[in-house]
Amino acid sequence: MEKNTPLKPSTGRGKGLLKAIVLLVFIVAAVTLIRYTPVRQSLTAEAMGRFLREAGLWAPVVYMVIYAAGVCLFLPGTLLTGLGAAVFGPYRGFLYVWVGAMAGASLAFLIGRTLGRDFAASMVGDRLRKYDDAIERSGFATVLYLRLVYFPFTPMNFGMGLTKVRFRDYFAGTGLGIIVGTFIFTFFIGTLKEVWTSGDWSRLWSFKVYFSLGLFVFSFFIPKIIKKLKGENAGDEAPTAPVGPMEDRGEARKGD
């Protein structure tokens, strides 16, 4: 009996290509839905805020589901984060934003891994395979670094799914890497919302407002600080050990 083993590589590549096309169609459809259809009119801060207030006790759960779905549909993260801070305040807002962002990031990663990884792996040559192997070995550090330098959130979620990075490394790096930026933004927006709601404009001169404003301004310098520290560490280690492709130069190019 003759076996068809020679056909397996091409068959596997064909399935990978088919799934990659499904992924591409999904991304194009998501962007089109959000930006070029009447659905866009329902995705304003006012409309979603009114919807969440009507949800009552279920509002936190509804919000986190909306955030997770929004991440996968390329909805602007600043809109979703600002909405959470405005509706729930700085502290609960931070918690709900972080949970929703992690759920959305995980789901987008799994979509990219399921639909795009096979095709990406079949197209990787010897040169790119070294980078792919390196990101598998240093997945947590790579993901953490890219999150701290504010690499575009949603494209990175899908993109990481195409690499060999382990999901646990991706999840841990994302969870830790977005904490600082998420807290700063929600604290800043939530604090301003509390002042606006109270009508007591004298609270604008409170320590809490100044502190939130200082954190917000500081957040813009975080990427430069992280890059500078990483560059100095790489320079110190250069004489004693060779630098891996994803641990310095390749990674820095991604962050730029």
Residue 160: CA count within 13 A, CB half-sphere: 33
pTM of structure: 0.75
pLDDT confidence bin for 2, thresholds 50/70/90: very low
Mean pLDDT of all residues in the chain?
A: 79
- CA dist 129 and 190 (Å) reads 45
- CA dist 66 and 231 (Å) reads 38
* Structural domains of the chain, count: 1
Q: 113-154 pLDDT, tens per residue?
A: 999 888 887 777 666 778 778 888 888 999 998 998 888 899
Residue showing tokens 């987008």: 108
| Percent with pLDDT over 70 in the chain | 77
Whole domain around residue 227: which residue ranges? 5-255
| Percent with pLDDT over 90 in the chain | 30
Name the least confident of 44-48, 87-91, 93-97, 209-213. Answer: 209-213
pLDDT greater than 70 at residue 178: yes
